[in-house]
A and B are shown apart, each in its own frame.
Chain A
Amino acid sequence: EVQLLESGGGLVQPGGSLRLSCAASGFTFSSYAMSWVRQAPGKGLEWVSSISGSGDSTYYADSVKGRFTVSRDNSKNTLYLQMNSLRAEDTAAYYCAKVFQGIVYYFDYWGQGTLVTVSS
């Protein structure tokens, strides 16, 4: 059974930093791209970042480019999101998601999410 468990969310001041983690199990982690998707309170889904299975390729939404860094440790089956220079508009639930990538690109499994609140 695929399981994705996010952690690391919390309250942080504007301009601060936070690192999210996503522990994966139930599949061959290194074989799949992974992504972070966020959802601001009462708002829709927003793709944040993706990383290839090997970790060699990374992709970011314009809204976080230059501030967030996605990485993975395949030996620990763990995905990370380093978030720097946080802003109030980064307040959201952050989900990690397993990517199905072939001729299509979609998220077949999602974690339960971790809440990030940016406020003074």
Chain B
Amino acid sequence: SYELTQPPSVSVSPGQTASFTCSGDKLGDKYTCWYQQKPGQSPVLVIYQNNKRPSGIPERFSGSSSGNTATLTISGTQAMDEADYYCQAWDSSTYVVFGGGTKLTVL
């Protein structure tokens, strides 16, 4: 079965850049999306198709993908960005797969 791996945590200071990685076999050949989930809330899509932002998502959120790794980047991180971030891809054998999630702490 297909698996996506994310580091459990990332910490940044306000105004700095936060980067989240998501690793999977030949992930760059698939499309990755990213969700933000704040405590007690439902997930929210922040990036789809590797690097596209849904309407309403701030420009500081960006994405990229190459090789075995997809990356979500938050430029100028704000306190309101503190949340869990999940990557997700579609695979023909496993169908939908999520990464384990990364908790962002804004110090």
Roughly how many angstroms separate A106 CA and B31 CA in the complex, as a whole number? 9
A111 to B100, Cβ gap below 8 A? no
Query: Which residues from A are CB-within-8-Å of B99?
Result: 44
A contact residues, total (Cβ < 8 Å): 22
Counted as pairs of residues, one from A and one from B, with CB atoms less than 8 Å apart, the total is: 59
What DSSP secondary structure best describes chain B's contact surface?
strand
Roughly how many angstroms separate A46 CA and B4 CA in the complex, as a whole number? 12
A100 to B48, Cβ gap below 8 A? yes
B86 to A44, Cβ gap below 8 A? yes
Interface string of A60-79 (1 = CB under 8 A from B): 01100000000000000000
A106 to B98, Cβ gap below 8 A? no
Interface hit among B21-29, B67-75, B89-97:
B89-97
The 5 A-B pairs at the shortest CB distance, nearest first, are namely A105-B90, A47-B96, A106-B33, A110-B42, A44-B101
